[in-house]
Amino acid sequence: MTIRILIKGAVGRMGTNLVKTLAANPNTTLAYAVVHAQAPELGKSVPEFPELTYITDLKEATDFDVAIDFTSPSSTLETLAHCQKLGKPLVIGTTGLSNAEKEQIKAASKDIPIVFAANFSVGMNLMFKLVEKAAKVMGEYSDIEIIEAHHHHKVDAPSGTALALGEHICKALDRDLEQVAVKERNGLIGPRTKEEIGFSTIRAADVIGEHTVWFADIGERVELSHRVSDRITFARGAVHAALWLAQGQEANLYDMTNVLGLDKI
């Protein structure tokens, strides 16, 4: 059975890699390639699927099995409403969503199955588990810092993945990230508090994504790092999530932990 997938933002950095991934996978095909109204590609053929043209109106896109969206918060909510209306599963990789927007996704997951993740790489999702383990061993007495680097086009900071790392650490330590996160340091800030988790952000050139977590004690430090050198890694993970949803998952909110079975480890 070939799974028909709608890609929203099909000519963006992630969208182009998603289309390439679908073309290389014998179990998937592109159902619709949706772009914004000002995209120069609108109306032209999709190179990997020349029988299809880029469209902009979601109302035209009804015959698909799963949708994937890595666009912007407002665009993603439009896709969410469309999938909810049609009863179609959705994979969301958009970052920079507000708490209220995340609540809309959570509410929609009562009607349709959704995979919503800050990062779709297998390695990073393994790292989420590793930082939980490290936090349980060293978190109560060590200083915890999260350093992340991305390309200079990224508009949100800290990255969604960095914040997700913080959430996994706080889950292990029974802390509230909103209460302990320190995202800026400037001037005479005083000594660091014991429970705070610091975030450092780098934006430079074409860095795809790098994250390092420090668990630092006097005399020793454990560092857990993950680096991505090709955005295709995220695309493969997202398509894997779409295929998993297409297996008939029930309406619920899932992440890559569920998709990869890491919640069973």
154 is catalytic: yes
Q: Is 108 annotated as a binding residue?
A: no
Check 44, 102, 133, 154 and give the catalytic one: 154
Q: Is 160 annotated as a binding residue?
A: yes
Q: Is 164 annotated as a binding residue?
A: no
Q: Is 9 annotated as a binding residue?
A: yes
Buried b (16+ CB within 10 A) or exposed e, 167-183: bbbbebbebebeebbee
Check 82, 150, 168, 211 and give the catalytic one: 150
Please choose, from the candidates 158, 145, 133, 116, the residue with its C-alpha nearest in 3D space to the C-alpha of residue 215. Answer: 145
Q: Is 14 annotated as a binding residue?
A: yes
Q: Residue 86 in contact with residue 113, Cβ under 8 Å?
A: no
Cβ neighbors of 96 (< 8 A, separation 6 or more) are 72, 73, 155, 156, 160
Q: Is 87 annotated as a binding residue?
A: no
Q: Is 138 annotated as a binding residue?
A: no
Strands 114-116 and 90-92: parallel
152 is catalytic: no
Please choose, from the candidates 223, 10, 17, the residue with its C-alpha nearest in 3D space to the C-alpha of residue 120. Answer: 17
Q: Is 161 annotated as a binding residue?
A: yes
Q: Is 199 annotated as a binding residue?
A: no
Answer left, alpha or beta for residue 186, where phi above 0 means left and psi between -120 and 50 means alpha: beta
Q: Is 129 exposed, middle or buried, given 0-12, 13-18 or 19+ CB atoms closer than 10 A? A: middle
Q: Is 235 annotated as a binding residue?
A: no
**Residue spans of alpha helices (H) in 46-176:** 73-86, 99-108, 122-138, 160-173
Pick out the residues of the known binding site. 9-14, 93-95, 117-120, 151, 160-161
Pick out the residues of the known binding site for NAD(+). 9-14, 93-95, 117-120
Pick out the residues of the known binding site for (S)-2,3,4,5-tetrahydrodipicolinate. 151, 160-161
Residues forming the active site: 150, 154
